[in-house]
Amino acid sequence: MTISDKRIAAGGMTLRYLEAGEGHPVIFLHGASLGSSADVFLRNLPAFAAAGLRGLAFDQPGFGLSDAPQDHSVGFRRKSVLAFMDALGLKSAAFVAHSQAGNIAVQIAQEAPERVSHIVVLGTGSLLPPLEEQKEGLEGAAQQRLERRMATHEPTIDDTRKLLEANLFHHELITPDELALRHARSVGKNFETFVARSALPSGNKKPSTDKPIWRRLVDLPQPLLLIYGRNDRANAFERATKLKEIYPQLDLHIAPDCKHLVPWDAEKMVADLSIPFLKR
């Protein structure tokens, strides 16, 4: 299955995207870690295309080979998703969203429900309830230290490898080519925009009476599928289990031997669960 590498003008910027297949459009949204890009989904797109779906993965503004924006906020990235859809003439699409992008997908679904047909969430911690005693653990603390250092010094290729290892259960997936590609997406202008994003405030706090987003998942009009890694950071397994206990009607699955990079660690499970879900 051929994956085309394309460019398109959207929202006053040039965005780079990958495309494979024909059928109902499925937009793959990458997370916000340094080095994230549409290339995260290179191993996933062929299966979706072979199943009769149109896979579209784009570099969000300030990531990959897309233009760097003046506005580095999550809100601007959320608007860029709709701008990308408008540029392609897509009235509606399904979302497969990894990490921070899961929150973006859910917010778009709430604000513009007519634009979203289905949502697949992969490892989005911000959509999970907190635990009474949240503990990061030694591995998570080490990763946070590495990410803080990388926000002040452009990463070496060894830094890029360490960050990938922290997010992957299957380290054998870090081939020389994969490492080189990830590192290329972590330096230069992408590092500069990462530093700019890191300098932003953590976000506007909503009133304490506002219903948290994880409690609004069951109110979404769109079908929702959630997949989390059993070995992910920040107590994701325990929190996902708690979410399922509170809302047993949610279509939530745990991927064994899987950390945060769910599209890689759980490639087959993502396809096996998502494709029939999206085609229903």
What are 225-267's pLDDT values in tens digits?
Answer: 999 999 999 999 999 999 999 999 999 999 999 999 999 999 9
Within a domain: 49: yes
- pLDDT for 150 equals 61
Which pLDDT score is estimated for 207? 42
Domain assignment present for residue 177? The answer is no
Residue 252 lies in a domain: yes
CATH of the domain at 123: 3.40.50.1820
In a domain, 154, yes or no: no
**What are the tens digits of pLDDT across the range 160-170?**
999 999 999 99
Cα 8 from Cα 66, distance rounded (Å) = 9
Counting the structural domains of the chain, the total is 1
Provide the residue range defining the domain that includes 275. Answer: 4-136+205-279
Is 65 contained in some domain? Answer: yes
* pLDDT tens by residue, 257-276: 999 999 999 999 999 999 99
pLDDT tens digits for range 183-223: 999 999 999 999 999 998 864 444 444 889 999 999 999 99
| Residue 134 DSSP label | -
Q: Which residues lie below 8 Å from residue 103, measured CB to CB, with a gap of 6+? A: 74, 124, 126, 127, 213
Full-model pTM = 0.93
245 located within any domain: yes
Full DSSP string of 231-257: T-STTHHHHHHHHHHH-TTSEEEEESS
Is 261 a domain residue? yes
Mutual angle of helices 74-88 and 100-111, in 10-degree steps: 60
Inside any domain, residue 147: no
